[in-house]
Structures are given as structure tokens and as C-alpha cells.
A and B are shown apart, each in its own frame.
Chain A
Amino acid sequence: MSTSEKTVTVVRRPRWLRVVGALALVSTAATVWLGLWVTPPDAVQKNLVRLVYLHPPIAWVALYLAFGLSALASLLYLWRRTRSMFWDRLAASSVEVGVVFNALTLATGMIWGRPTWGVWWTWDARLTSTALLLVLFLGYLALRRVPVDPEVRARRCAVAALIAFVDVPIVHFSVIWWQTLHQGATVLNANLSPTIHGSMAWTLLLGFIALTLVFVWMVGVRYQIEVLADRTGAERLEVSLAERWAEGDLDSSTAGGNGHANGANGSPVRSPTRVGQ
């Protein structure tokens, strides 16, 4: 079919995204190398400490970066002066990547918790809140999948992201509000002096940078997919409408040419003269 051939476009990622992707790959590889081979095992936690280079950076990306970015983008979407689909797509991409990282936060936390605390799960406040956040943002994704007008969807999702984001501070302060098993913040503690030292601190810092880059790259790619999905959706609609109209023309010409176009299921569709509008 000539129409479907026309919709095939070659997608090239923008240069900045490819650069970020390469940097993410290199820094992640460096973190793995430093984390697994260069840094020494911990005096108390032995090799388990190596998860520390991964778990806090993943949590940082999920709980603060991803959901923070989605809240900011949602806010900018709702604000009339900056309203554009760019913010809607950015918020959606960010939440989707955030949900993946949120699940990884829980998974790595559980892998660390089993040998350390002896259980996969404890009803610790921070664990529970992180799990709640996951469900909360799964709800956002569910809301996004409901077929409605893109404008309506964008606005409702923006509101949903903002309401859900209000829950994030509860996660953050839960460590202070509730007395828990979970250890307090190691890097960003109250007086901002890191409590780990040497190669371990550098590896952890690199882990933060690497996973932030991975996050940026994933959101960038996801954003592109969102744009393409919208575009192909619109193109497919045009193609199928054109097909319907063609059928309608055929019907009307064989049925005496009364000039009314009808869809395949008998429901009236818009007249072919409005194709270009």
C-alpha cells in the first residue's frame, strides 16, 4: 500500500542523546569495575556493601529525580503560559522510567535486606512508603492508558502526577517521623558531611552520576517513542479515514451517488471535502 509506505520514516536520535547514552554506558561500566574489583569489602558488611554503590543512586533517580521531574513537567503543563504537549510527554516518560527505577529500588533493597536483616521485607516506614509510591505511579500509568482525548488525558495525568508527588515528602521525612530499622541518609545527612570515605565514597558518587545519566538517556529515548506513537497514531487515523471515505465514495456512486459518505459499519463519517483540514 502506498499510504503505509509513506509513513515509514528513519528515526535518528539527536546527537546530545547519543552522547548522553555513551557517557551513561562508560560511567556505568566504571562504577561496576570500581564497585566490584577496586573497592575493598566492608569491615562489617563484607561484600554486601557493594550494593551500596547501586541502591542509593537507583533510589535517588526513582524517588527524587524521576518523580520530581514529572511533577515539575506536570506543573508547567498545567500553567497556561507554558502549556504544551512537550511537558505532558516529558512527565509521562519520566514517570515510566521512574516506575522501573522504583521497582529496582525495592528489588535491590530486598536483596540487601535478606542477608543483613534476615528477612526479605520488613514493615519499615521507608520500605512501605516506597512500595506505596510504586503503586501510586502505577495508577498514573493506568490513568494514562485510558483512551480519551489527548488534551483531556494530559490534563488529568498532570493533576494525578502532582497529587501523587505530594506523597514523596512523606517518604523522605518518614525516616525522621517514624523510628525505623532503616539507616538514616548517609550522604545527605543533616550537616552535609559524608560518613563514608575514600574509594568507597568516590565509587558511590560515580554511581550517582552514572545512574543519573542512564535516567536522562532513558527519558530521552522514551520521549522520542511517545512522539512517534502520537505521530503514527495520527497518521494511521488519517489513513483509515481516507480508506473509509474511499469506501463511502464507492458506495454512494454505486447506490446512486447521493453524495453522503458512510463508514463500513453504517455510521456517518465526515464528508471527504474536509480531508485536508
Chain B
Amino acid sequence: MWRDALLVAGKDLRIELRSRVALWQVLPVAVLSLVLYAFALGPARHTLAAAAPGLFWLAVLFSTVLATQRSFAIESGEGTRDGLRVSGIDPAGVFLGKAAAVAAELAVLQVVLWAAMTLLFGVHIHTAWLAIVASFLATIGLATAGTLYGALSAGLRVRETLLPLLVLPVLAPVLLAASRAWSGALTGPVSSGESWLRILGPFAAVYLVVGIVLYGPLLETA
């Protein structure tokens, strides 16, 4: 299963490296959204700094929708999903691989977004470990739940409009918990930020397990 996951993740990431769609489309849109949020809220530094954790995770959330859409768009070519299905690769491996590829993209995106945020909004992380742990758990949650719903709406004619409706309510707890945790990491208190890890952790674990179990039946219906 793990070898299969590596293979699939490698394939997805190689396609991204060569096509550069994530790099030149998803990433700029995420950074652009930060600028747009600033337009919406006004240029006052303290307003932006207070809203920064929420806006950061909102940008990541919407990017997750784009990234998962992209992750399944690369398999929309003729017979590609069939090829994946008959290749003998374990469905759980396919799920883990695709989720890992999305997670890797989201991790890069967060680093860039964070740099942009520091420059534009003038905020700094005080408790680095908390921000990193929260990011790690949230990324797993976003990638796994996103991949599950991506597979659910893959191949449907209305997938572009259906996916956000399906996935955003599910990801809402991640947005809530990650924003609060980051708020704790940015401005404190650390203890209140820490307590939100108790939501991010189980969320990531649950969707990881659900994905491994349920991806098989989903892949069969492609």
C-alpha cells in the first residue's frame, strides 16, 4: 500500500512539476485572495493583523478546492482512470498517494502564503511549534477530506460546482480550529491555541481512515 502510495504521489507531483498549473494558477490565486481580503477589510494594520489567521486559512481552504479539482482533472483524460484501476494498485494506495500529493502542494502553498502574509499584513509567529503542528494536522485533514470528495465528484459533468458544495461544509471545522490555533501561535495565549489541536488531530485521523476504507468502492464507480 505504501509503495503504491509513493508511486501515485510521485506521478501526481511529477505532472504538477511539468505542467506548473498548481504553481502558476493555484498559488497566484491564493496570494491574490490575500490582497483582495485587504481591499475588503481596509488598509488598517491592526484590523488585518487581527484577521490574519482566519484569512490565511480561508485562502488555504479555497486553494484546497482548486488543488483537489486539479488533482482529479489530470485523470479526466480518456481511459486514465481505467488505467489506474486496472493497474493493480491498491485503492488505499491511490487514495494515500493522491492525498499526499495534494498535501505536499498545500504545504508549499502555505509557506509562500505565510511569506506573503508577513510582508503584506506585518504579522509574526511567536510560537513556531504550535503553528507548525496545527498546519501539519490541518493539511492532512484538508488533503484527505478533499481527495475523498474529489473522487466522489470526479467524472461528473457538474463537478466544478458540486465539489465546493460538498467539501466546504466538511472542511469548516478545519478552518475554525486551524484559525484559532494559529491565532494562539501568532498573538497568544498559547494554551487556547493548543486546545484546538484536539479538533484538528481527530479530524485528520478520521478522514485518513475513512478514506483508506472507502476509496475502493469509489474507484470502482469511475
Contact = CB atoms under 8 A, between A and B. Distances in A.
A255 interface: no
A42 interface: no
Most chain B CB within 10 A, of A146, A158, A159, is at A159
B172 A139 contact: no
Interface residues of A, number: 25
B210 A163 contact: yes
B153 to A, nearest CB: 7
B152 interface: yes
B210 A160 contact: no
Q: Is the interface of B mostly helix, strand, loop or mixed?
A: helix
Nearest to A79: B217
B217 A163 contact: no
B217 A159 contact: yes
B6 interface: no
A155 interface: yes
A190 interface: no
Given A151-B221, A166-B206, A159 B153 contact: no
Nearest to B172: A132
A138 to B, nearest CB: 7
Given A163-B149, A177-B199, A146 B214 contact: no
Contacts of B182: none
Interface in A193-244: none
A107 to B, nearest CB: 19
A132 B175 CA distance: 13
Contact of B162 (A132, A146, A163, A164): A146
A170 B199 CA distance: 9
B221 A139 contact: no
Given A143-B152, A163-B210, A177-B199, A156 B221 contact: yes
Contacts of B29: none
B5 interface: no
Given A139-B169, A155-B217, A155-B218, A162 B199 contact: no
B210 A143 contact: no
Nearest to B220: A155
A136 B172 CA distance: 11
B162 A142 contact: yes
A146 B166 contact: no
B214 A163 contact: yes
A139 B166 contact: yes
B162 A143 contact: yes
A101 B28 CA distance: 42
A148 B172 CA distance: 28
Given A155-B220, A159-B214, A167-B170, 15 more contacts: A78-B214, A78-B217, A132-B169, A132-B172, A133-B169, A143-B153, A146-B162, A155-B221, A156-B221, A160-B166, A162-B214, A163-B145, A163-B149, A167-B169, A167-B173
12 contacts: A139-B162, A143-B153, A148-B156, A151-B221, A155-B217, A156-B218, A163-B207, A163-B210, A166-B210, A167-B169, A167-B173, A177-B199
Which 9 pairs from chain A and chain B are nearest by CB?
A139-B166, A135-B169, A152-B221, A136-B169, A155-B221, A139-B165, A132-B169, A159-B214, A146-B156
